[in-house]
Amino acid sequence: MRVTRITIFGILSISLFLNFTRAQKPVYLDVKQPIEKRVEQALSLMTLDEKVAMCHAQSKFSSKGVPRLGIPEVWTDDGPHGIREEVFWDKWSGAGWTNDSCTAFPALTSLAASFNPQMALLYGKTIGEEARYRNKNVLLGPGVNIYRTPLNGRNFEYMGEDPYLSSRIVVPYVQGVQQNGVAACVKHFALNNQEADRMSVDVEVSDRALHEIYLPAFKAAVEEGKAWAIMGSYNQFRGVHCCHNDLLLNKILKTDWKFDGVVISDWGGVHNTDQAVNNGLDLEMGTSTNGLTTDGTSPYSEYYLANPYLRGLKSGKYSESVLNDKVRRILRLIFRTTMSADHPFGKFVSPEHSEASRKIAEEGIVLLKNNKQFFPIPVGKYQKIAVIGENATRSLVIGGGSSSLKVAYEVSPLKGLIQKYGKDHITFSKGYASGENEYNKEVGSQQNADSLINAAVATAKDADVVLFIGGLNKNHFQDSEGADRKSMDLPFGQDKLIAALLKANKNVAVILLSGNAVSMPWVNEVPAIVQAWYLGSEAGNAIANVLSGEVNPSGKLPFSFPKKLDDNAAISFGQISYPGLDGKEEYKDDILVGYRWFDTKKITPLFAFGYGLSYTTFEYGKITTDKKLYTPDETVKVSFTLKNTGKVDGAEATQVYVSEPKATVMRPVKELKAFKKVFLKAGETQTIELEIKVKDMAFYNETTQSWTVEPGEFVLRNAASSNDVKSSVSIQIK
């Protein structure tokens, strides 16, 4: 007979094991339940410490989940044009992974220039697939801040000067991203219209301009796009930082628009625990950094929504119901993304993504001038094509701040042109040099400018045609986060270079790669000008396809090009209007932004909003409406014919503008209220049909704090651009 001896230690061990097992009974969150029930179930199981821990960062780009309950972390990622490389846990520098090189998509100015919501949906879908593959559940973009001045360093990240165009482009972008189980985080809410003094400048703007110009794209993203996240902006609005601004976040966003997603701070945009707790912020990121370059100096536990918040909750200073609202929103985001039962796997740097990037780029390229049909240049037409300019070879996906990318490949304009025309027909000279790209620092080139010009002139002299590829780049004081441009002029001596090239060869076309308007003292001397933006991985292929005529250009400008800087509305009112005086800035241009200013003040722009040429021609028919008298709750049905009167197939972004001639308040001469991109075969005619809701003709009434449609006459105009009206029709609102 065998006797088993059990010691007191053994009994104690068994008892502890059984108690531990009972204490660690697994918790199951039912994925089959509706999201709101899952949110409430998870919330009911969380401790106060776990709730607070979800409201602030744990690393540069992530925040905590609840491992005890199987709730994962939130992982965010820049940016709006591609999925940023992996960085170290607590550093901005790349972690050196070998499998995180992404597809670069065109900058959002290029997307807006397509005037095509279908391209926006394709863009959102493909970039969302790349984010999904990389296990990011929040994409920090798109940006929809209004183009107020051509000096803003981040204009290239946004969608132009018109709130209606931005609204129609942002909605499908958001929907495309989120169909992948990735949250779009629309930024920067709100009034972040410059980089100068961006962390502190206190903006004052009328309620009318706020609602008519600066908020519509955000509103559309929330109410129509159903965006799951919003990022606050760095600046102040009426004395309070926007990342914890009660009017913007609690009243407008969460109450008026019924936003049910997460408000995420910009990195380093939080300044006060009381305001962060009570004024609508949900998730604090990047505190103790300047937003881009400096490592944090305070531990994550000392963020404003970390231990200071927890201590205030335990002392009774803060309400737990406010905390619960924040946590509900974060849980809702997690259940919509990472813990969604049906999110797809995603894709990364696939052939389909390359094709999408190229197609979006091609549709955004704008032909500004084309005397004597300089373009297209078919393959075989010329024996010697001189390509001049640093931007023909410089990487334009690197730099610019948070939108900087590590890409799997990038086809430069020069490479694309060589592939198109053959290396025997292309000669290249750099022409100018911009220096190294360093964030927050201006670094000049050590190369001799005169030597570069002389070499370029020698290359151009014997060429059949010269393609100058210049513009801006992602250097500091160019198209870059952290600082605005110093002037509207082309940098690095490019105007001098163009003048020298024209003396050597009159057949010089200028191809500009930039996200901003530039001065053009040579505009009347060059036969052709192309605005080609920052086009991403497929830049060279897209440019070559358009210049050769394989693709007919169809982009239209999403912002006006002024002839000179002082013609810009914000600049014209002096320093108080831009960039601000003693930390204060008044938007004295009010609702007259972009073409609204040029039209109303009768100032002729260099190139107008909505302008863009084609290799074919279009004939507009007279605009008509389905009737003449409408009530405020009706929809106006607009129609007109469009004929391709040229010899090649092409697309035209038709536009309809609305005006109220005898309003009781000041109104712009006209405002864009509908557009449609139409593809026509050579000789083909289509009837274009558009709808405009009468309520969308309203102005924001500052007396009643609501939208008002006045009875009386309204005029609708079809147009090829804001200053190229084809016909008009009057209607009455009763």
Which residue ranges make up each domain of the chain?
A: 30-336, 365-405+412-558, 560-612, 616-733
Determine the pLDDT at residue 80.
86
In eight-state DSSP terms, residue 647 is S
Per-residue pLDDT averaged across 361-377, rounded? 98
Write the pLDDT tens digit of every residue in 559-597.
999 999 999 999 999 999 999 999 999 999 999 999 999
The residue with tokens 């999403």 is 558
CA 286 to chain CA centroid, nearest Å? 21
Q: Is the pLDDT of residue 294 over 80?
A: no
Q: Is the pLDDT of residue 19 over 50?
A: no
Answer whether 30-336 and 616-733 agree in fold: no
- Say how far apart CA 141 and CA 176 lie, in whole Å: 12
| Phi, then psi, of 294 in degrees rounded to 5 | -110, 135
Percentage with pLDDT > 90 across the chain: 90
Q: Which two tokens stand for residue 563?
A: 């002839």
81 CB contacts (<8 Å, ≥6 apart)? 104, 105, 106, 107, 108, 127, 141, 157, 397, 403, 405, 534, 536
| pLDDT band at residue 384 under the 50/70/90 scheme | very high
Q: Is the pLDDT of residue 67 over 90?
A: yes
| pLDDT band at residue 630 under the 50/70/90 scheme | very high
Cα-trace Rg, the chain: 28
Q: Which amino acid is at 642?
A: L
Q: Is the pLDDT of residue 213 over 60?
A: yes
Name the class of domain 365-405+412-558: alpha beta
CATH T-level topology, domain 616-733: Immunoglobulin-like (2.60.40)
Write the pLDDT tens digit of every residue in 221-273.
999 999 999 999 999 999 999 999 999 999 999 999 999 999 999 999 999 99
Query: Active-site residue numbers?
Result: 266
Determine the pLDDT at residue 29.
64
CB atoms < 10 A from the CB of 624, how many? 14
In eight-state DSSP terms, residue 588 is T
Determine the pLDDT at residue 441.
79
- Say how far apart CA 496 and CA 484 lie, in whole Å: 23
Per-residue pLDDT averaged across 448-459, rounded? 97
Per-residue pLDDT averaged across 358-385, rounded? 97
Please name the helix (run of DSSP H) or strand (run of DSSP E) that holds residue 650, with its range, or none.
strand 650-659
| pLDDT band at residue 3 under the 50/70/90 scheme | very low
Contact at 8 Å (CB) between 456 and 482?
no
| Phi, then psi, of 372 in degrees rounded to 5 | 50, 35
Please name the helix (run of DSSP H) or strand (run of DSSP E) that holds residue 237, with its range, or none.
strand 236-237
Burial 165-182 (b: 16+ CB within 10 A, else e): bbbbbbbbbbbbbbbbbb
Q: Is the pLDDT of residue 5 over 50?
A: no
Determine the pLDDT at residue 132.
97
- Say how far apart CA 114 and CA 556 lie, in whole Å: 7
- Say how far apart CA 222 and CA 213 lie, in whole Å: 16
Q: Of 11-15, 59-63, 92-96, 149-153, where does mean pLDDT reach its minimum?
A: 11-15
Determine the pLDDT at residue 501.
98
Contact at 8 Å (CB) between 499 and 431?
no
Give the angle subtended at the CA of 247 by the CAs of 241 and 252, to the nearest 5°.
Answer: 125
**Strand arrangement of the beta sheet that strand 74-77 belongs to:** 62-63, 74-77, 138-139, 183-189, 229-232, 262-264
**CATH code of domain 30-336:** 3.20.20.300
- Say how far apart CA 107 and CA 159 lie, in whole Å: 9
* pTM strictly above 0.75: yes
Q: Which two tokens stand for residue 607?
A: 């190139």
